[in-house]
Structure 1
Amino acid sequence: MEPIKVLIVDDSAFMRTMIKDLLSSDKRIQVIGTARNGADAINKLKRYEPDVITMDVEMPVMNGLDCLEKIMNEQPLPIIMLSSTTVEGAENTIAAIQKGAFDFVPKPSSTISFDLRQVKDELIKKIIEAQRANIKPLRLRNQTFKGKQNTATDQVFSYTQKRNNKLVLIGSSTGGPRALEFVIKNLPKNFAAPILIVQHMPKGFTKSLAERLNFASAIEVKEAEHGEILRNGVAYIAPGGKHLKVRQVGHSIVSSLTTDDPVKGHRPSVDTLFFSAAKLKNHQKIAIVLTGMGSDGAYGLEVLKHNTDNTYTIAESENTAVIYGMPKSAIQTGYVDKIADLDEIACHITRFVNER
């Protein structure tokens, strides 16, 4: 197989050299060039024809966000952002993902020594996945899917019991922030159920994600807090570095945040959220697995189906998923009720919640 051609964009000569040395250690990757800012990167795209770009955010002349936007409009490529873990860095990173960046890798927090070796494996893994990504959804910048309101005619919501409390569970990883935006923005303001979301993301970034989704959506979106009573019409995002669980307290459902060991390398874990929800016997649940690498959520989905007879499950289709790993693993369990394009999912969720 031909090596993956990577263009490195960073205004620091030290960082360019460091990243090049780290990536060149893997035979699957070929660093074909470097650029010192966004304008330099644009000029070098036709010359180098990279498969994947790594890009800093803060740069002179043309910053990473402007460069990203120009590339995604004119010559879409998978772009991995190297981002600061500061509050401003997190906000810029989420903005980059919403503009079409494939994913990001946080820079080490030290301002003295950028020891990128601690993120070497993560960066290489994401470059390899990026080269296989479906970047078509990444081009849908500033578009909001309207939902195919008349396509869900297959009687998928055939519950016969009286209307119970409803709970929406969503798991996502790579490509997830943009997929979540399309789903959450299309839910109505009077949405009659709580929504719990696990998005694979490090500490410091989930709060910015919640704030941006909250600004863009009719419903409230917030980072989950430990011990809060879940309310209808609110989406709760698991904080980076903590598992999100739910439990029944009296007639209410309460959130629980823990620092238990990672599950399949993830904390927060989609499986962990699904496991906890499976213990709620008096709630109808809809569980959705969106784009992402790996198989997180697949086993949890099985547990939901085995433990409750009032759970409906959806996996995002290969047609719209940026990375089909998580949805594909969920489908392979045999417990997915519906495979849906991203533009259909909000419609399915709303119908499920409104079904009596």
Structure 2
Amino acid sequence: MTKGVVKVLVVDDSAFMRKLVQEFLSSHDKIAVIGTARNGEDAIAKIRLLKPDVVTMDVEMPIMSGLEALKSIMSENPLPIVMLSSTTKEGAENALLAMDYGAVDFIAKPSGTISLDLHLIKEELIHKVLNASIASLKKPHTISPSLKVSKLISKKRPELTDSKPERRDHTLILIGTSTGGPRALQTVLSRLPHHLNAPVVIVQHMPPGFTKSLAHRLDQLSQLNVKEAEEGDVLEKGHAYVAPGDYHVNINQHGNHLSLSLSKEPPLSGHRPSLDFMFESASKLKNIKKIAVIMTGMGSDGSKGLVQLNQKELVETIAESKDTCVVYGMPKAAHATGLVTYTEPLDEIANRIVILAEG
């Protein structure tokens, strides 16, 4: 086996799907498919025998489902798992449940359990398997209340041309995340109080059909009112809005009110919704205190927009610490701008948001 090659086990009850996924992954010179499995039980046995670096696993399988196998694997022998899910409502809910159980990421099959057009997601499949191979499976650190101390980044912040303090009519919280994001969002939003003195707008890299289920799940777990963003939504304090899959979100200002509009403008760096797009939109808002939060995720989405946000006024920026990120990509890119104010472990991000929003 060539050094640096990612060893993958492909799990699916369909022989056709196993063959297709294997062919797609094997076409990349950094991936080697070392085995296949027909169901969850077979997968557990093959993992013990073959010791893969990454597993791709179908959700719906006979004898033992992907979700059942996932729970067993993560308790016995944790390793990065990418789930393949249908785009039905049940499929979306199962994909989010898989994230809770410890899956690193998921891929939506284009057309059901047996997707004859799986070639449409070939590049995404390869990309997510490679990402999964470098993901951290460490559990988020639990910080004692007596140790709620943030690391303040000591880089020099840009100076404002006007030294007079600006009047701020509102506070706006902007959150972006990608790989590992659903669990991170669950942790943060479940700890925010219902009387939060600001609306929250969220960009999570996720395909159409899944963001609605994500918003519903977060709504059940949070004191905030959480919904998938819709055209014309007026932003309210104590409410959170999740950008819908395949749409950018614009934040518009009408006097003392803020509203959302959705855009089908081209993806930015492969993403729609894009955090850079949302940040750039928010940079045009006047007399608004902005709190930017960048959490776990591959790539650099958010870093260019962060520069835009800071061009006219300072923004309080929170980046998730490396220790708790599933993938330390987006927060790392944010740090490289020199504009991150606070580095927080996942368990402390909500606390920092509340302090900044109330201050």
Query: Closer, same or farther in 2 for the Cα pair 1:113/1:52, shift >3 Å?
Result: closer
Partner Cα separation in structure 2 for residue 150 and residue 350 of structure 1: 17
CA RMSD of aligned residues (A): 2.0
Partner residue, 1:171 = 176
The Cα shift of 1:266 comes to 0.8
Partner Cα separation in structure 2 for residue 132 and residue 285 of structure 1: 32
- The question of whether the paired residues in 2 share the 8 Å contact of 1:169 and 1:286 is answered with yes
Question: Aligned letter for 2:223?
Answer: A
Partner residue, 2:98 = 96
The Cα shift of 1:253 comes to 0.4
Partner residue, 1:320 = 324
Partner residue, 1:203 = 208
Count of aligned residue pairs for this structure pair: 347
For each residue in 1:126-177, what CA deviation from the matched residue of structure 2 results, as whole angstroms up to 9, or x when unmatched?
A: 111111111113xx6xxx9677465247899xx9767641110001111111
Partner residue, 2:342 = 338
Does residue 280 of structure 2 align to residue 283 of structure 1?
no
TM-score with structure 2 length normalisation? 0.92
Partner Cα separation in structure 1 for residue 152 and residue 22 of structure 2: 54
Partner residue, 1:134 = 136
The Cα shift of 1:111 comes to 6.6
Partner Cα separation in structure 1 for residue 94 and residue 113 of structure 2: 18
Partner Cα separation in structure 2 for residue 318 and residue 73 of structure 1: 23
Q: Secondary structure at the match of 2:298?
A: coil
Q: Name which of 4, 7, 16 aligns with 1:5.
A: 7
For each residue in 1:20-74, what CA deviation from the matched residue of structure 2 results, as whole angstroms up to 9, or x when unmatched?
A: 1111112211111111111111122110101000000011111111111111112
- The question of whether the paired residues in 1 share the 8 Å contact of 2:150 and 2:343 is answered with no
For each residue in 1:302-354, what CA deviation from the matched residue of structure 2 results, as whole angstroms up to 9, or x when unmatched?
A: 11111223x20111111111111111111001111111111111010011111
Q: Secondary structure at the match of 1:347?
A: helix
Partner residue, 1:248 = 253
Question: Aligned letter for 2:136?
Answer: N
Q: Name which of 19, 44, 47 aligns with 2:46.
A: 44
Does residue 132 of structure 2 align to residue 121 of structure 1?
no
Partner residue, 1:24 = 26
Q: Name which of 217, 230, 243 aligns with 1:238.
A: 243
* Pairing 1:176-191 to 2, within 5 Å after superposition: 176-191=181-196
- The question of whether the paired residues in 1 share the 8 Å contact of 2:291 and 2:353 is answered with yes
Query: Closer, same or farther in 2 for the Cα pair 1:249/1:149, shift >3 Å?
Result: farther
Percent identical among aligned pairs is 52
Question: Aligned letter for 2:133?
Answer: Q
The Cα shift of 1:110 comes to 5.8
The Cα shift of 1:202 comes to 0.7
Query: Closer, same or farther in 2 for the Cα pair 1:155/1:320, shift >3 Å?
Result: closer
TM-score with structure 1 length normalisation? 0.93
- The question of whether the paired residues in 1 share the 8 Å contact of 2:56 and 2:81 is answered with yes
Partner Cα separation in structure 1 for residue 334 and residue 293 of structure 2: 10
Q: Name which of 136, 148, 153 aligns with 1:151.
A: 148
Query: Closer, same or farther in 2 for the Cα pair 1:268/1:153, shift >3 Å?
Result: closer
Partner Cα separation in structure 2 for residue 276 and residue 242 of structure 1: 14
Q: Name which of 11, 17, 22 aligns with 1:15.
A: 17
Question: Aligned letter for 2:148?
Answer: T
